[in-house]
Amino acid sequence: MTTEAVSRPQTAARPDPSGSSPRSGQPLRVALLGCGTVGSEVARLLIDSSADLQARIGRPLELVGIAVRRLNRPRAGLDPELFTTDAEALVGRDDVDLVVEVIGGIEPARTLILSALRHGASVVTANKALLAEDGATLFTAAEDAGVDLYFEAAVAGAIPIVRPLRESLVGDEITSVIGIVNGTTNFILDKMDGEGAGFAETLSDAQALGYAEADPTADVEGFDAAAKAAILASLAFHTRVTAADVYREGITDVTTSDIASARAIGFVVKLLAICELADPDADGQRSVSVRVHPAMIPRSHPLASVGGAYNAVFVESRSAGRLMFYGPGAGGSPTASAVLGDLVTVARNRVRGAAGPGESSYAARPVSPIDDVVTRYHISLEVADVTGVLASIATCFAEHGVSIQTVRQAGRGSDAQLVIVTHRARDAALSATVRALRTLPAVREVASVMRVEGDV
């Protein structure tokens, strides 16, 4: 019962009309920018998997240079001759076909990528910060040069999400993308949920275990997730969204009480990157909202069971319905897998004289401010247990046009705790309601306020 497969060479179907790719059968030359956790794994795989990569592309890949900041670190298994500190000279070489950028950050990554594109190389990058800040400049440069810019590794590590959004779902109308796209914060929130520990203590544990950086700001304040949200929204809605467009709250203010409160009503707290396409307005225009904040989601929601440092992206579209993509969102090996997948794809394109999809931003949609976002709130109040308190609170909601879905009350001596979950309303109305609640004499404390997402 064996296959009768005959191995056929993966020859180029057509010559490259631009004449810029190397001679038939010659190796495609790869320059690597950065040799940290991801870069060193990419280099290792380029060497260890060279036979398979060659068979899949139709030409060998040859690693011709690795740009690093310092030459003095030992790098096991890699030829010392490959290393250089002159990254600009490496991307300026005329014989480089493919450039992999895994330095991260805005500069010098942007200058190097632009130089590589202008020199006719296709580029694979994992740089979410740069794409979210100034992707348009990079995409335009790639389009002008007729080369590829691929970036599967920039969002959710090894999880294929860029290709599904750019290609698989490109005939559909995506209406929302909700992701757990930062492993560090998911690890922390998952541990707080499981162990009842506080944020500061759990962050220390995460740092000790290597799940959080010494400076955790980019993760816990939501900057990393916001960059990914901008990229996801741009792809899903065929528009340009930058990191500056993304409303952002981190998880530093999430308390054990928030988490216990969520648990009590069958919910769990997650840091979500939420991208939504609004219904058409009076002029037929459809705006998008893009935001990152902690939120309570029902434990029955597919994202609720995404534990530890895993990532997942939940996509809803008009025809396909509800899809979820799940996997490791970070780490050297998973990120290197995504980089290599892109590298083989752009190499195949080069061998065939083709280019993959460029930027699609024709829809040019406005981004709604957070005030206009329609969502739900969970509000936990400490109130005086006196007659009429519920009436005064309910009046406060009604005056702001916010409808209450559920109220739970628990007496505690002379005090009571009220847990209120609202119906959907404009965020501005919800936050105005909370401000007004704080001024009510019967309200001793607004103990917890959190958005509720993921209706199922």
Interaction residues for its own copies, span 363-392 (CB under 8 A): 363-369
Which range in 97-105, 204-212, 345-353, 418-426 contacts its own copies by CB under 8 A?
345-353
Torsion, Cα of 342, 348, 352, 355 (10° steps): 0
Among 317, 380, 422, 448, binds its own copies (CB under 8 A): 317
Cβ–Cβ < 8 Å for 346, 336: no
The answer to the question of residue 127 lying near its own copies (CB under 8 A) is no
For residue 290, the minimal CB distance to its own copies (Å) is 10
Q: Does 424 bind its own copies (CB under 8 A)?
A: no
Token readout for 343 is 């590298």
| Cα(417)–Cα(420) distance, integer angstroms | 10
DSSP annotation of 336 reads H
Of 342, 376, 379, 425, the residue at the interface with its own copies (CB under 8 A) is 342
Burial of 117 (0-12, 13-18, 19+ CB in 10 A): buried
Enter the tokens of residue 421.
């979950």
Tell me the C-alpha distance between 435 and 399, whole Å. 13
| Piece of 24-32, 163-171, 250-258, 260-268 that binds its own copies (CB under 8 A) | 163-171
Residue with Cβ nearer its own copies (165 or 269):
165
Q: Which is nearer to its own copies, 9 or 411 (CB)?
A: 9
Cis peptide before 108 (omega within 30 of 0): yes
Minimum distance, C-beta of residue 398 to its own copies, in the bound complex (Å): 29
Where do we find the tokens 């202008």? 118
CB 57 within 8 Å of CB 28? yes
Exactly one of 128, 163, 228, 376 binds its own copies (CB under 8 A); which one? 163
Cβ atoms of residues 174 and 322 within 8 Å: no
Between CA 424 and CA 295 the distance in angstroms is 14
Provide CB contacts within 8 A for 190, sequence distance 6+.
307, 308
Binding segment for its own copies (CB under 8 A), chosen from 51-59, 175-183, 212-220, 438-446, is 51-59
The smaller minimum CB distance to its own copies, of residues 56 and 118, is found at: 56
228 catalytic residue (yes or no): yes
Q: Which is nearer to its own copies, 216 or 356 (CB)?
A: 356
Quote the CA–CA distance of 44 and 47 in Å, as a whole number.
5
Q: What is the rounded CA–CA span in Å between residue 78 and residue 105?
A: 25
Of the pair 71, 364, the CB lying nearest its own copies is at: 364
Contact residue for its own copies among 65, 164, 179, 216 (CB under 8 A):
164
- Check binding of 106 to its own copies (CB under 8 A): no
The answer to whether residue 60 forms part of the interface with its own copies (CB under 8 A) is no
| Contact flag: residue 194 with its own copies (CB under 8 A) | no
d(CA 313, CA 107): 29
Interface with its own copies includes 77 (CB under 8 A)? no
Which residue in 84, 326, 404, 434 binds its own copies (CB under 8 A)?
326
Q: Which is nearer to its own copies, 294 or 334 (CB)?
A: 334
How far apart are the C-alpha atoms of 287 and 374, rounded to whole Å? 12
Question: 128, 191, 228, 270: which is the annotated catalytic residue?
Answer: 228
The two three-digit tokens of residue 357, written as one number: 């999809």
Q: Is 27 in the site for its own copies (CB under 8 A)?
A: no
**Could you say whether residue 1 binds its own copies (CB under 8 A)?**
yes
Alpha-carbon torsion 314, 237, 345, 150, what sign?
negative
Which one of the spans 46-54, 63-71, 99-107, 418-426 is the region binding its own copies (CB under 8 A)?
46-54
Site for its own copies contains 245 (CB under 8 A): yes
Catalytic residue set: 228
